[in-house]
Structure 1
Amino acid sequence: MPYGHASSRLDQSSRNPLRARAAGGQACGKSIAAPPSIDGRTGSTAPAPPVGHPRGAARSAPGPIRRSRTCRGPPDAEPNARARRREGALTMSSISIIGLGQMARVLADRALDGAHAVEVVGRDAAKAADVAAALGRGATAGTVGAAPAGDIVILAVPAGSAVPVVSRYGDALAGKVVVDISNPFNSEATGVVTPEGTSVAQEIAKAAPASAHVVKAFNTVFGGVLAQGRPVDVFLAGDDARAKARTSAFVESIGLRPWDTGDLAMARWLEGAGVLMMGLGRHGVGAYDFSLGVTTAG
């Protein structure tokens, strides 16, 4: 869908801890247009769902890569920011992104803005090379199935592909932080297709090596909003405290605000929040240019 520019908030009350923020306004720095659809298609006027929607299976040639300076809020705006940094060695220097859609490209662009080394990986080697070249700044193209170069591996693939991809990599993911950003929507994006009591992230954890640690993150941020370069909130969940701290440090390094929701079982509800966002986009907001966020009172 085309990007909209809303200026109002659904709820501006500090008493309500969960709010949906409109994502309009001026982004930092100069930029060129990013692809208008979260599922990687350019020129689409269809509503753009969060990553993982079944429509995301269709991919186009790489669109233009957005260039902007990342908007950064106060470094200690989030109460636990200092504590996370004290845990040491949390800011990662290398990120591998498996997938070549819009969300993959936007995350890669912001990671490069945050001074990380970035590797992009896709089934189409030529397309991966094109995406890396378009990103510039030393981005490289990896090989599907080979050990990812990054210490953090972001799975930017449709929900139905996530577990097979992790199974294919097998022990090559040993010791990695594996970040799942998918949403397992049904065909109408009115519910999830995962069985009760589990989530895509939990199924990924079962398929991954024991030394890999899965974190759910970024599934509650629309790619079009992320591409604007604005500081938005990112909810995450995982069983390993250090993996969550490393993911949170990465989130902060690209100008976003991490919020820890608990262990990996919470991924079920984060994936449900993706459905909530689709409902808001269709009804309450009437567009997909908003983000969910947290406001603390006091």
Structure 2
Amino acid sequence: MTNISIIGSGHMARALATVMLRGNNPVQILGRDGSRTRDLVESLGPGATGGVTGAAVTGAIVFFAIPHKEVHNAILEIGDSLDGRVVVDISNTVDVSNFDRLTTEPGVSAAEETARLLNGRAEVVKAFNTTFPTTLEAGKVGGQHLDVFIAGDSEQAKEKVSAVAAAAGMRPIDVGPLRRSRELEAFMLVVMGLQVSPEHQHFNWDTALRIFP
């Protein structure tokens, strides 16, 4: 059993909390909107607790389920309670105004930016950016389990994230060091572009990436 903290109270926060609880891992939800956070915690049931962003983090693994542009302020608000923990960056920096570019500078990923902001205070892992809320909450797509692609520079941190993913019935796949998050994020530019394209109506936000077998 691993205590999990999730920063955010939106659709991805709900999906992550659902699968973490499914794996018997207690969940703490911290969000800026107190009413929304309370409603989410109540809907999740036993094993879930909540509070406002800035409250002390209790989880050994902390998921940032917020847009990447909000991560900097979240880190400032949370303060030193992130120290020594595993921080999971799930963000995609696709420009949703046109789905035609990434908002990060070439050669750098959102996860690497998060790592720089934390400056060694916590181990940063990239994971869950290739899953979307509906399929993640369901834990499968098309009758198949979900793959969770994991990048990070700490083998121990990746093992911890892999363990909670596996406990929730998903298959963790270690793709290498944190710099591989560049490719994970860039590929989602292709995927999300397909999902919104009228030329590919069979793609939608309920799709997921999986490697066979």
Task: State whether TM-score is above 0.5.
Answer: yes
* Residue of structure 1 equivalent to 2:65: 156
Equivalents in 1 of 2:130, 2:121: separation in Å?
A: 26
Query: 3-state DSSP class of the match of 1:178?
Result: strand
* Residue of structure 2 equivalent to 1:251: 165
Equivalents in 1 of 2:76, 2:118: separation in Å?
A: 7
* Residue of structure 2 equivalent to 1:133: 42
Amino acid at match of 2:74: V
Greater CA deviation, 199-208 or 271-280? Answer: 271-280
- The alignment status of 1:177 with 2:86, answered yes or no, reads yes
**Identity value in percent:** 42
* Residue of structure 2 equivalent to 1:189: 99
* Residue of structure 2 equivalent to 1:116: 25
Amino acid at match of 1:294: I
Equivalents in 1 of 2:36, 2:194: separation in Å?
A: 34
Amino acid at match of 2:187: A
The Cα RMSD (Å) is 1.5
- The alignment status of 1:265 with 2:179, answered yes or no, reads yes
- Larger fraction in helix: 2
Structure 1 residue 247: Cα displacement: 0.4
Would the aligned equivalents of 1:163 and 1:203 in 2 still touch at CA under 8 Å? no
Q: Which has the higher contact order (CA 8 A, sep 6+)?
A: 1
| Aligned residue pair count | 205
Would the aligned equivalents of 2:148 and 2:173 in 1 still touch at CA under 8 Å? yes
* Residue of structure 2 equivalent to 1:206: 116
Query: 3-state DSSP class of the match of 1:292?
Result: coil
1:105 is aligned, of 14, 31, 56, to 14
TM-score using structure 2 length: 0.91
- The alignment status of 1:234 with 2:143, answered yes or no, reads no
Equivalents in 2 of 1:194, 1:143: separation in Å?
A: 28
Amino acid at match of 1:145: G
Structure 1 residue 209: Cα displacement: 4.8
TM-score using structure 1 length: 0.66
Amino acid at match of 1:261: V
Would the aligned equivalents of 2:56 and 2:78 in 1 still touch at CA under 8 Å? yes
- The alignment status of 1:277 with 2:155, answered yes or no, reads no
- The alignment status of 1:218 with 2:128, answered yes or no, reads yes
Query: 3-state DSSP class of the match of 2:209?
Result: strand
Equivalents in 1 of 2:139, 2:107: separation in Å?
A: 35
Structure 1 residue 208: Cα displacement: 1.2
Q: Where in structure 1 do 4 or more consecutive aligned residues deviate above 3 Å?
A: 283-286
Would the aligned equivalents of 2:67 and 2:91 in 1 still touch at CA under 8 Å? yes
Unaligned runs of 5+ in 2: none
1:34-74 alpha-carbon deviations (Å, 9 max, x no partner): xxxxxxxxxxxxxxxxxxxxxxxxxxxxxxxxxxxxxxxxx
Would the aligned equivalents of 2:139 and 2:170 in 1 still touch at CA under 8 Å? no
1:109-162 alpha-carbon deviations (Å, 9 max, x no partner): 111111111110100122212211111113100231122111000000012112
